[in-house]
């Protein structure tokens, strides 16, 4: 049996020298080291051999198997090196060239717009105040002067995330950043209850509504709330502040208009439109063929809201507004579909 093992080894090594590629090497492995190979058959037949011969035959068979496996590994590495050398010689590749640069991350277009909005209002003396995404029904609706049966309170418009059967104050994802007005005013007024300090803040954050998704609407969107409370504040102050904001963000020649509107937490209320840059005022799907796109709602803070925030409406007045950064970004970059911001399409994001 030992001479037969020597012959198996010699034949296998001789055949290995003729292997020229990875496919042939795998075939060689099956023939000479596979389960049905002659070498493996020797292991299978050890139990039928005389006891005195088994140790020597088993030891020699193991030595041959280990030697063949080692040679197969070496031959495989040689083939890979030869293939690499051949590719370098035949392919038009300059290995001295530097590698491809790693792509750098960029700010999301909405983040860029938000930072510019922060800068504009910081120059006007507004501070950034952050409030929570998960709110109570009381903060999101009741303290903002929403009647109990107002349509915006219904489940089809709001995402309620927790509710106790015995509770009249369930939790929900905030539908606007306006609840931050109450939290901010209460925080400021709690420091000096008899003489609350003036307020001038913006409150950026994400909002959530159960909307019909379209080129203009999404179920989640960012909003920048603005609030100014003090003495002798008028609607003219509100209009002047927002007009200056539009000129700083869109340019001195921008056309803007204010339209009367209604919000439960402001009185009087208005909406501010900017001439649609996407269609240059001719009319498109973004502006509903009107040539104008609403970017914010605003108004004078309702006395009830002031009182709920800890400010005496007989002494203090204020204005508030809510800006849609997505709408602003669509105007600035002539984007015709708000859904692009949240689909994470790298082809869209790389443009910024």
Question: Rounded mean pLDDT of 291-320?
Answer: 93
Any idea which residue has 């306006």 for tokens? 178
| Per-residue pLDDT at 165 | 47
Q: How far is CA 60 from CA 44, 241, 263, in A?
A: 14, 94, 93
Helix (H) or strand (E) holding 260, with range, is strand 256-263
The token pair at 337 is 């579909």
pLDDT-based confidence at 32, cuts 50/70/90? Answer: confident
Q: How far apart are CA 130 and CA 222, in angstroms?
A: 13
Q: Report the range out of 58-67, 118-127, 274-283 with the highest average pLDDT.
A: 118-127
pLDDT-based confidence at 351, cuts 50/70/90? Answer: confident
Q: What is the average pLDDT value for the chain, to the nearest integer?
A: 86
Helix (H) or strand (E) holding 146, with range, is none
79 and 118 belong to one structural domain = no
In residues, how long is the chain? 352
Count of Cβ atoms closer than 10 Å to residue 173 Cβ: 19
114 and 222 belong to one structural domain = yes
Question: Rounded mean pLDDT of 33-43?
Answer: 80
Is residue 270, in this structure, part of any structural domain at all? yes
Helix (H) or strand (E) holding 217, with range, is none
Is residue 149, in this structure, part of any structural domain at all? yes
Helix (H) or strand (E) holding 201, with range, is strand 199-208
The token pair at 339 is 């859904």
Lowest mean pLDDT among 37-41, 213-217, 292-296, 308-312: 213-217
Q: Indicate if the pLDDT at residue 166 is higher than 50.
A: no
| Per-residue pLDDT at 8 | 80
- Name the packing angle between helices 109-123 and 325-333 (round to 10°): 110
What DSSP state is assigned to residue 96?
T
Higher-confidence position of 202 and 100? 202
Q: Indicate if the pLDDT at residue 255 is higher than 80.
A: yes
Higher-confidence position of 19 and 242? 242
Is residue 104, in this structure, part of any structural domain at all? no
Is residue 96, in this structure, part of any structural domain at all? no
| Per-residue pLDDT at 167 | 67
Q: Is the peptide bond before 32 cis (omega within 30 degrees of 0)?
A: no
Is residue 133, in this structure, part of any structural domain at all? yes
The count of structural domains within the chain is: 2
What would the pLDDT profile of 69-86 be if each residue is shown by its tens digit? 888 888 888 888 888 888
Q: How far apart are CA 110 and CA 324, in angstroms?
A: 10
Question: Rounded mean pLDDT of 195-203?
Answer: 94
pLDDT-based confidence at 286, cuts 50/70/90? Answer: low
Any idea which residue has 């003495």 for tokens? 231
Please compute, for residue 188, the number of CA atoms within 13 A of its CA located in the half-sphere on the CB side.
23
Is residue 116, in this structure, part of any structural domain at all? yes
Share of the chain above pLDDT 90, in %: 37
Q: How far apart are CA 183 and CA 132, in angstroms?
A: 10
Interstrand relation of 127-128 and 199-208 (parallel, antiparallel or unpaired): parallel
3-state secondary structure of 345: coil
If we measure between CA atoms, which residue out of 296, 327, 323 comes closest to residue 117?
Answer: 323
Lowest mean pLDDT among 33-37, 118-122, 156-160, 162-166: 162-166
- State which residues form the domain around 26: 2-90
27 and 156 belong to one structural domain = no
If we measure between CA atoms, which residue out of 332, 337, 336 comes closest to residue 352?
Answer: 332
30 and 57 belong to one structural domain = yes
Q: Indicate if the pLDDT at residue 205 is higher than 80.
A: yes
Q: What is the CATH number of the domain that holds 149?
A: 3.30.930.10
177 and 84 belong to one structural domain = no
| Per-residue pLDDT at 164 | 54
CB-based contact 209:157 (threshold 8 Å)? yes
| Per-residue pLDDT at 96 | 83
79 and 115 belong to one structural domain = no
Q: Indicate if the pLDDT at residue 203 is higher than 90.
A: yes
77 and 115 belong to one structural domain = no
| Per-residue pLDDT at 316 | 95
37 and 156 belong to one structural domain = no
DSSP string, 314-338: TT-EEEEEEE-HHHHHHHHHT---G
């Amino acid at each position: 049996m030992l001479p037969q093992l020597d012959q198996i080894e010699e034949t296998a090594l001789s055949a290995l020298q003729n292997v020229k590629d990875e496919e042939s090497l795998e075939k060689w492995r099956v023939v000479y080291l596979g389960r049905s190979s002659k070498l493996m058959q020797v292991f299978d037949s050890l139990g039928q051999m005389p006891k005195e011969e088994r140790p020597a035959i088993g030891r020699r068979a193991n030595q041959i198997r280990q030697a063949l496996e080692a040679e197969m590994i070496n031959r495989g590495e040689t083939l890979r090196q030869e293939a690499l050398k051949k590719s370098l010689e035949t392919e038009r590749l300059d290995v001295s060239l530097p590698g491809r640069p790693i792509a750098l991350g960029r700010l999301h277009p909405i983040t860029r717009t938000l930072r510019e909005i922060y800068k504009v209002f910081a120059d006007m003396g507004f501070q950034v105040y952050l409030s929570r995404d998960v709110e109570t029904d009381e903060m999101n609706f009741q303290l903002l002067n929403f009647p109990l049966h107002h349509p915006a309170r219904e489940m089809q418009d709001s995402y309620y995330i927790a509710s106790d059967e015995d509770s009249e104050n369930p939790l929900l994802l905030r539908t606007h950043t306006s609840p931050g007005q109450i939290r901010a005013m209460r925080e400021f007024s709690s420091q000096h209850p008899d003489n609350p300090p003036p307020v001038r803040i913006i409150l950026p954050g994400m909002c959530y509504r159960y909307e019909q998704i379209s080129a203009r609407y999404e179920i989640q969107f960012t909003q920048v709330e603005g609030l100014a409370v003090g003495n002798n504040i008028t609607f003219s102050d509100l209009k002047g502040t927002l007009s200056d904001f539009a000129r700083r963000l869109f340019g001195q020649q921008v056309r803007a208009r204010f339209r009367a509107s209604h919000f439960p937490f402001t009185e009087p209320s208005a909406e501010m439109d900017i001439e649609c840059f996407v269609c240059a005022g001719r009319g498109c799907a973004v502006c509903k063929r009107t040539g104008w796109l609403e970017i914010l709602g605003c108004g004078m803070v309702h006395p009830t809201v002031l009182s709920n925030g800890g400010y005496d409406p007989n002494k203090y007045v204020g204005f508030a507004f809510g800006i849609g950064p997505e709408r602003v970004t669509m105007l600035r970059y002539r984007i015709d579909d708000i859904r692009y911001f949240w689909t994470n399409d790298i082809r869209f994001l790389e443009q910024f």
